[in-house]
Amino acid sequence: MKSIVLTTLSVFLGLFFIFVGSMKVTPNINREMHREIRRNFVQYSKVFPLSKLLNFKMNPKLYRLFIGWSEVVCGTILVLVPGRIKQLANGALLVLMLGAVYTHAALRDKFERMAPSIVFSLMLGCRLVVFYQVQSRQRNKHLQRGGGALQRGSPTSSSVSHPHHQPPAPPTEEAAAEARPKLD
């Protein structure tokens, strides 16, 4: 069973990142916004987190294209791809958004400029929490039905953990004889 909340968050976040990433990569969506983003990345590249650590200057164009394509690819995965890779894409986008929060803080931008990065970081974090809750609920239902590694009647099954629960008695000779097919 899938969660409506999880599916809705995945599609909404995925479409958002496809849109925002596309604006970073191409001017075809909105030329003025693309121009503004290009100017912003000149500033963002100056406070790139690894610049001081690795002693290099980040190229603003490569930085913008890397972030943009990462958002497009991860957004597409959130919308279309099931399984574990979706959680990896969610994690990658969360790292990008936390990096954006760091960048705005390092530039001492106003809170209004930082707020979208904070909000989408929280939404991506919430999506991961919902995913793990749904996964845990499904695993518990599976175990309650007798699936998984524990089989009914095995020494580690739930009957051992409940001392008042007795396993069924083996059939008597008479019951076994009645259950056998008659060959008359």
Given a contact cutoff of 8 angstroms between Cβ atoms, the answer to whether 89 and 21 are in contact is no
Residue 100 sits in which domain range? 4-144
Asked, for residue 165, whether it belongs to a domain, the answer is no
Give CA angle at 56 (52, 59), nearest 5°: 115
Asked, for residue 154, whether it belongs to a domain, the answer is no
Nearest Cα to Cα of residue 98 among 78, 77, 120, 79: 120
Nearest Cα to Cα of residue 48 among 107, 92, 89: 107
Using CB atoms within 10 A of its CB, is residue 31 exposed (0-12), middle (13-18) or buried (19+)? exposed
Render pLDDT for 103-134 as a digit per residue (tens, 0 to 9).
999 999 999 999 999 999 999 999 999 999 99
pLDDT surpasses 70 at 15: yes
What pTM does this model have?
0.75
Asked, for residue 54, whether it belongs to a domain, the answer is yes
Asked, for residue 150, whether it belongs to a domain, the answer is no
The mean per-residue pLDDT over the stretch 86-96 comes to 97
Count of structural domains, the chain: 1
Asked, for residue 124, whether it belongs to a domain, the answer is yes
Asked, for residue 139, whether it belongs to a domain, the answer is yes
Asked, for residue 89, whether it belongs to a domain, the answer is yes
The mean per-residue pLDDT over the stretch 73-89 comes to 96
pLDDT surpasses 50 at 154: no
Asked, for residue 129, whether it belongs to a domain, the answer is yes
Query: What are the angstrom distances between the C-alpha of 141 and each of 136, 145, 153?
Result: 9, 6, 19
List all residues 6 or more positions away from 85 whose beta carbon is below 8 Å from its beta carbon: 77
Percent of the chain having pLDDT more than 70?
79
